Chain A
Amino acid sequence: MGKYAFYPGCAAKGASKELYEATIAVSNKLNLDMVELPEFSCCGAGVLEEIKEVLDIAVNARNLAYAEREGRDIVTVCSTCLLVLRKAKYLLDNDDELREEVNEILKESGLEYKGTVDVKHFHWVLLEEFGEEGLKEKVVKPLTGLKVYPYYGCHTVRPKDIIGYEPSENPQSLEKIIRALGATPVCGERRLECCGFHAFWPAPNISMKLTGLNLKDARKESADCIVTPCPLCHMNLDANQERALKEVGENFKMPVLHVPQLVGLALGISPRELGIHRNITPVNCVQIS
C-alpha cells in the first residue's frame, strides 16, 4: 500500500466540510495510510498564477517539499488543487532554470524541492490500490439500481499534458467506481463540460448558465444523482442549484454527491459520518437510515 499525504484543499476545510468528513471516513474504513500535513497551505486555486507565475509555483513547491520530507505522495479531493499542484510539479520537473530559481526562494526556509513525490486524486488512489474488482469486494451495501451521472468537470482530466491519468477525451475512472459500487453510470454529453465555477465572481450569470446546462443534461439522462470529484463543481451544482436552474428556465432537484460520499454509502458508512446532511440539495436518491 502507498503512503499518502492528504491535501484536502480549502473547500473541504470550509464550505465543503462534508467532503472532508467523507474522505476521512472512507480512508479509515479502507485502512489507507493517509495523513494530513499541518504545514500544507492553500494552493492558490490557479489564482496566484494571475499575480505572478513564480509566486504560484513557489507556494506549491513548498507544499510539495513538505510531502517529500515525509516521503508521501500527495492525495487531494479537489480537482483544481490537483491541477495546480501537478502543474507546479510539471513545470519544476521540466525546467532546470525554474527549479533552481524556486529552490533559491525555498532555501531561506530550509526547504528544497527535489521532485520525488507524485500528486494524485483520491479516486485514482482507490482504483490504484484496490482496482474495480477489489473495490467491489469491499462493498457491503451495493447501490443497485441507482443511476449515477459521472460529472468529471475540468481539472481532473485536463489538460492531458499535465494530468495525463486517462484519455481526456473519454475518461472512465468515475464509471469504474460507479460500477464497482453496484450502481449504473449514465453518461451525458456534458460530463466533461465546465461548471463555470472559476468565472463565478466576474460573470455569475455565465457561471450559473453552464451549471444549469450540466444539471439539465443529468436530468435528460434520467440520473438519480450526480457524482463529482471536485468540491468546486459540487458547490455550483449542489449549493447553487436553484439559481443555476433558474438561469436555464428549469426547476427540479438533482442530488449531487462527492465521490467519497457515494463510495462511503456503498461501504456501509453511516450517512451522518459522510456529512450527507450537509448537502444543500436533499440526497433522497438513496435510502438513508
Chain B
Amino acid sequence: MESRKVIFRIKRFNPKKDERPYYKEYEIDVPKGMTILEALQYIKDNIDPTLAFRAFCRSAICGSCSVKINGYPKLACKTQVFNELDVYNTNILTIEPIDNMEVIRDLIVDWDSAIQKMEKMRPYLIPDPEVVPETLDEECKVYPHELKKFDKFTDCILCTTCYSACGIVRVDSNYGGPFPLARVYRFAVDPRDSLKKERAKIGFSFDMWNCVRCNKCADVCPKHIAPVDGIMKLRGLSIEIGLRNNPGARHVMAFYKSLQESGMLNEVLLPLRTKGIKGVLENLSIGIKMILKGKAHSPIMKPIKEHETLKEVMKRAMEVE
C-alpha cells in the first residue's frame, strides 16, 4: 500500500510541569487513508505515551477531537493525512490545540468557557403551552416547512471548532460566538418555543452585531452548518421585533433605502444614515481625504437601468410569507 514519511510537529504543554509550550517532532510512515487521529494514536502507542489528545467516537459525531492542522481547525478523526499533505504541499504537519480556549494539556482544551457562555444564552426549548401539550398522550407536530428553517442548526455536535476559529471571540469577550448564537436562532424559529423572536434580544446582548461575516465558522464546521447564517437571521429577527435604533440595524436599512432610491449603495450618505451626525463627525477626516483623492460620488445618485424591475422584485420579495 502507498505510504509516505510524515513529520508531525506537535505542540506540547503540561501546565503542571512545563513553563511554556514547545514543539516535538515525530516521524512516522503513514499509509494512504490514515486519519490525523489514527496518526496521533500511533505516536502515542508506539513512540510517546505521554502525548495527550481527546477523542471518543472516531466517527465525526462526538465533537471531541478538534485540533489545528497547519493552523486550520479540523476534526482529527475526519481528516486524512494525505489530503493535508497535498493541500500544503509538504511532508510536515503542525498539530496544535484549537484556539480561544485554555489548554489543559497538549492538544486538549477546556471547553467550559464556550459552553458556559452558551448556557447563559438559554439555548433550550422553553415550551409554549399553546403549542406543546401538557401530557405525553398528545403529539406535538413540527411540519417540514417549519423544520426547514432550523433543521441544519440541529446538526451541531458542539465540537467548538467554529468557536475556536472566530476572530471576534478572540477580541470581544462578551461576544456569544458562532455555535451559541446559531443555537439561539434555532430556538427562536422553533414553533414549539415560547420566547420565539424575542430570543433575538439575547443575541443582541451577546454582541451579535459584532460578527464580521468572515464565514470562518461556515468554512470550518465539519457538519456544514454555517453558524453565520443563523446569526444573520437572528439579526433579521431583531429588526422585526423593533430593535432598530442601533448602528447594525440602521446600516441594514441604509442599504435597503439606497437600493430603493437608485439600485446602488449611496456610500456618501451611509455614515449619516447609520450613525447620524456622530457617524459623519467620526469619519470626517477620512471623508475629506477621500474627497480630495476624487473617491466620492455625488450624494444624489442616478438610478441604474431597469431600476423599476429592481423595485418590483424587492416589493414582491418583501410580500413573500
Q: Interface of A with B (CB < 8 Å)? A: 10-11, 13-18, 38-42, 44-55, 57-59, 62, 66, 83, 101, 105-106, 108-111, 154-155, 157-161, 167-170, 189, 193-194, 196-199, 201-204, 206-207, 209-210, 239-240, 243, 277-280
Partner of B248, one of A49, A168, A201, A206: A201
Q: How far is the CB of B234 from chain A (nearest CB, A)?
A: 9
Q: Say yes or no: A59-B252 contact (C-beta < 8 A), given A45-B265, A204-B282, A210-B212.
A: no
Interface centre among A101, A167, A199 (most CB of B within 10 A): A199
Q: Which residue of A lies closest to B251 (CB)?
A: A201
Complex CA gap A83/B286 in Å reads 27
Partner of B309, one of A101, A109, A196: A109
Chain B residue contacts of A59, Cβ below 8 A? 259, 310, 313-314, 317
Contact call B87/A158, Cβ cutoff below 8 A: no
Q: Say yes or no: A198-B309 contact (C-beta < 8 A), given A17-B295, A158-B218.
A: no
Chain A residue contacts of B282, Cβ below 8 A? 204
Q: Say yes or no: A50-B239 contact (C-beta < 8 A), given A15-B296, A17-B294.
A: yes
Chain B residue contacts of A66, Cβ below 8 A? 306
How many B residues, CB 8 Å from partner?
Answer: 68
Complex CA gap A277/B294 in Å reads 9
Contact call A278/B309, Cβ cutoff below 8 A: no
Q: How far is the CB of B240 from chain A (nearest CB, A)?
A: 9
Contact call B72/A169, Cβ cutoff below 8 A: yes
Q: Is B109 an interface residue (CB 8 A)?
A: no
Chain A residue contacts of B268, Cβ below 8 A? 14
Q: A14-B268, A170-B88, A202-B210 are in contact. List 20 more A-B contacts (CB 8 A).
A: A15-B295, A39-B304, A41-B259, A41-B264, A41-B310, A42-B265, A47-B255, A50-B235, A50-B239, A58-B316, A59-B259, A111-B309, A158-B219, A159-B215, A161-B224, A196-B167, A198-B212, A199-B212, A207-B212, A279-B293
Q: Say yes or no: A168-B263 contact (C-beta < 8 A), given A50-B239, A52-B236.
A: no
Complex CA gap A87/B307 in Å reads 23
Q: Interface of B with A (CB < 8 Å)? A: 70-72, 87-88, 167-168, 171-172, 207, 209-216, 218-219, 224, 226, 232-233, 235-236, 239, 246-248, 250-252, 255-256, 258-259, 263-265, 267-268, 274-275, 279, 282, 286, 289-290, 293-297, 304-310, 312-314, 316-318, 320
Contact call A206/B255, Cβ cutoff below 8 A: no
Contact call B70/A106, Cβ cutoff below 8 A: no
Q: Say yes or no: A203-B172 contact (C-beta < 8 A), given A14-B265, A41-B263.
A: yes
Chain A residue contacts of B296, Cβ below 8 A? 14-15
Complex CA gap A159/B213 in Å reads 11
Contact call A54/B320, Cβ cutoff below 8 A: yes
Q: Would you mind naming 11 contact pairs between A and B with Cβ atoms under 8 Å apart?
A: A18-B295, A53-B236, A58-B314, A106-B313, A158-B214, A158-B218, A169-B88, A170-B87, A193-B214, A202-B247, A210-B167
Chain A residue contacts of B279, Cβ below 8 A? 201
Partner of A161, one of B171, B218, B247, B264: B218
Complex CA gap A158/B219 in Å reads 6
Contact call B318/A55, Cβ cutoff below 8 A: yes
Complex CA gap A25/B207 in Å reads 42
Partner of B226, one of A11, A159, A168: A159
Chain A residue contacts of B216, Cβ below 8 A? 154, 158, 194
Q: How far is the CB of B130 from chain A (nearest CB, A)?
A: 26
Contact call B295/A278, Cβ cutoff below 8 A: yes
Chain A residue contacts of B219, Cβ below 8 A? 157-161, 168
Chain A residue contacts of B289, Cβ below 8 A? 239, 280
Complex CA gap A277/B289 in Å reads 12
Chain A residue contacts of B212, Cβ below 8 A? 154, 194, 196-199, 207, 210
Q: Say yes or no: A42-B210 contact (C-beta < 8 A), given A14-B267, A105-B313, A193-B167.
A: no
Q: Say yes or no: A280-B251 contact (C-beta < 8 A), given A109-B313, A155-B215, A209-B171.
A: no
